[in-house]
Amino acid sequence: MAEQNIDQEQLNALQEKLRQMSPEELREFQKKQCIFCQIVANKVQSRRIYEDGRVLAILDINPANPGHILLLTKEHYSIMPQLPDDEIAHVFKVAKSLSNSMLKGIDAHGTNVIVANGIAAGQRAQHFMAHIIPRKENDGIIFVLPQKPMEQKEIEAAGDRIIAALSGSAKEEKSEKGASLDEISKLLGAR
């Protein structure tokens, strides 16, 4: 969706409208605003590399390297936790095949498979996707995860919180489907 300047009253009205929408209405609203849903629907041109009933792989129009692919779910999901388990499994099976095809077809020496999950992680589009980027030695892409010095007790405390959340998330997934309206509003940038 193109960025528009809206005043506080318009923002409040939009937030209220979002709150009033059913999950189905909200999903349709998101689809209409999403350029990647338009690509999936073939309303926006793209270079399709692979397609099946669940995913579409296209060439990125702003590639990190030649052959950079965006692997999109055909169903609109904003972030990875919204995807059903079988859907995410399918995405990564296809990503594996695409990565292997890059190694063979364009003589890539390796690939990066990247998911930016949420705004803080660098996600710019509100449609879940995996980037498959072919790599060669000295290709100019610097992808280095920083190593931050931390106390062992801080590392352990973070691990404990993740384990506790993981135990709770199994229960949540059975009772909830997708993100809450508040979470979606935050993702859409509404505050």
pLDDT tens digits, one per residue of 53-104: 999 999 999 999 999 999 999 999 999 999 999 999 999 999 999 999 999 9
pLDDT score, position 174: 40
Rg (CA), the chain: 19
pLDDT score, position 36: 96
What is 8-187's CATH superfamily? HIT-like (3.30.428.10)
For residue range 9-25, what is the model confidence (pLDDT) as tens digits? 887 887 888 888 887 78
d(Cα 73, Cα 94) in Å, to the nearest integer?
A: 11
For residue range 22-64, what is the model confidence (pLDDT) as tens digits? 877 877 777 788 999 999 999 999 999 999 999 999 999 999 9
The yes-or-no verdict on residue 133 having pLDDT over 90 is: yes
- pTM as predicted: 0.75
> Edge-to-edge strands of the sheet including 110-114?
48-51, 55-59, 69-73, 129-135, 110-114
For residue range 111-121, what is the model confidence (pLDDT) as tens digits? 999 999 999 99
The yes-or-no verdict on residue 176 having pLDDT over 80 is: no
Which of 12-16, 146-150, 184-188 has maximum average pLDDT?
146-150
Burial class (CB in 10 A: 0-12, 13-18, 19+), 75: middle
pLDDT score, position 187: 52
